[in-house]
């Protein structure tokens, strides 16, 4: 995960903000995470790169070998946005639906 986030930072030329990384089971439940969340395993991060915005961040992330991604654009989040990335084996792309996490 760290190596891929560093690749992303280098491509963006700007800091990558990690909003959530590892979550213990208790906190994961409190925030509505699924029991088998990649966050509980320490293999996921929810990130933003404010200086380049959602669209450019998504373009860069799609060029990096994360196993799983989830894109949550500003309109869905009331002006805020984040992108979920993880390094699970055989990952899938989640798309843009919050309920799929």
Give 29-54 pLDDT, tens digit per residue. Answer: 999 989 899 999 999 999 999 999 99
> pTM for this structure?
0.81
Rounded to whole angstroms, how far apart are CA atoms 93 and 86? 10
DSSP 2-30: HHHHHHHHHHHTSPPEEEE----HHHHHH
> Which two structure tokens, joined as six digits, stand for 88?
């699970």
Q: Which pLDDT score, from 0 to 100, does residue 44 have? A: 96
Percent of the chain scoring above 90 in pLDDT = 71
Report the CATH number of the 2-100 domain.
3.30.1380.10
- pLDDT confidence tier of residue 76, bands split at 50, 70 and 90: low
Q: Which pLDDT score, from 0 to 100, does residue 5 have? A: 96
Is the pLDDT at 70 greater than 60, yes or no?
yes
- pLDDT confidence tier of residue 61, bands split at 50, 70 and 90: very high
> Which two structure tokens, joined as six digits, stand for 66?
């994360």
């Amino acid at each position: 995960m760290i190596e891929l986030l560093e690749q992303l930072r280098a491509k963006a030329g700007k800091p990558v903000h990690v909003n959530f990384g590892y979550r213990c089971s208790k906190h994961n439940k409190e925030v509505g995470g699924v029991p088998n969340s990649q966050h509980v395993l320490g293999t996921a991060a929810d990130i933003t790169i404010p200086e380049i915005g959602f669209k450019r961040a998504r373009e860069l992330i799609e060029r990096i070998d994360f196993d799983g991604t989830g894109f949550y654009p500003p309109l869905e989040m009331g002006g805020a946005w984040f992108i979920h990335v993880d390094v699970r084996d055989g990952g899938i792309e989640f798309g843009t639906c919050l309920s799929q996490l």
